[in-house]
Structure 1
Amino acid sequence: MANVFVALGQNVVFMSAVTAWFLAQVLKTLTSYWKHGEFNAERLVGAGGMPSSHTALVVGLASAVGLHEGLQSSLFGIAVILAGIVMYDAAGVRQAAGKQAKVINKLVRQLRVEHTINDIRLKELLGHTPLEVMAGALLGFAVAYGLNKLMLLS
């Protein structure tokens, strides 16, 4: 079992993706603290926020595959398609779902005042703005590039 962890730690593609995701989650927590003035532990694992950790992960993955296997490789093509789907979902579908949740929550608050209704609250921070997705993409690429250079030196 220890060999699996050693092998993963030496896998530049795996480490690029995971490191980009981790750094994005930490940065997301810090930007949330800066914006709201209080620590929110949910930001360490939650969706939404700056930068997009989903995007950082898939762009880190695709970039590392491209740098390691080559831009003509089938694996790079698959990784780029996967990254495109995730980025579209983050900035499109999930952002729209978050906006809908905001409207539904407002309607529920108004109905609760006028009528008896169960207190439900939908999660509103689901998706990303294009800027948050772009920041995640830049972070993912930078991590993959940096780790690729470091691992080549080893």
Structure 2
Amino acid sequence: MAEFLAGIGQNIILMTALTAWFTAQVLKTMTAYWRHGAFNAERLVGAGGMPSSHTALVVSLAVSVALREGIKSDLFAVAVILAGIVMYDAAGVRRAAGRQAKVINKLVHEMRVEHKVKETRLKELLGHTPLEVLAGALHGTLVAYAFYVFYR
């Protein structure tokens, strides 16, 4: 088991992606604090917010593979397709679901005022704006490049 964990710790591409995700989650928590003036621990693991940690993870994965294996590698092709799907989902599908949740929450609140519906809150912060996705991509690229420079 120790050998397995040591092997995972030595996988620079995996460590790059996990570092990009973790640091993006910390940045997301900090930007939420600056924006709202209060610490929200859910931001450390939750979806949505600035920057997109999902995007940072998959872009750092793709950039790491490109730097280590080359852009002609099959693994790079897989990583780029995965990154594209995740980024589309973050800015498209999940963002639309968040907007729908916001409208539904408003309707439930208005109906509750008339005592016709029990209060149920849906999570509204699901997806990302294009800027949040772009920030996540930039963050992932910078983390991958930093790992490449320091762990060549």
Q: TM range, normalised to the smaller chain?
A: over 0.9
2:124 equivalent in structure 1:
124
TM-score (norm 2): 0.98
Q: What percentage of aligned pairs have identical amino acids?
A: 69
In 2: Cα distance, 1:68 partner to 1:5 partner: 22
Return 5+ residue gaps in structure 2 as ranges: none
Amino acid of the residue matched to residue 10 of structure 2?
A: Q
| SS in structure 2 of the partner of residue 91 of structure 1 | helix
Q: 1:90-109 alignment to 2 at 5 Å?
A: 90-109=90-109
Q: 2:21 aligned with 1:21, yes or no?
A: yes
Question: 2: distance between equivalents of 1:70 and 1:4?
Answer: 26
Normalised TM-score (structure 1): 0.97
Encode CA deviations 1:36-90: one digit per residue, 9 max, x unaligned.
Answer: 0000000000000000000000001111111111100000000000000000000
- The one-letter code sitting in structure 2 at the alignment partner of 1:5 is L
Q: Across the two proteins, how many residue pairs are aligned to each other?
A: 152
1:116, CA displacement in angstroms? 2.3
The aligned amino acid for 2:100 is Q
Distance in 2, matches of 1:115 and 1:35, equals 34
1:52 aligns with 2:52: yes
**Structure 1 residue 148: deviation in Å?**
1.1
2:141 corresponds to: 141
Q: Structure 2 counterpart of 1:134, which letter?
A: L
Matched to 1:75, the amino acid is L
Amino acid at match of 2:52: S
Aligned to 1:112: 112
- For 2:77, the aligned partner's letter is G
1:6 alignment counterpart = 6
For 2:148 and 2:19, the matched residues in 1 are separated by 12
The equivalent residue for 2:83 is 83
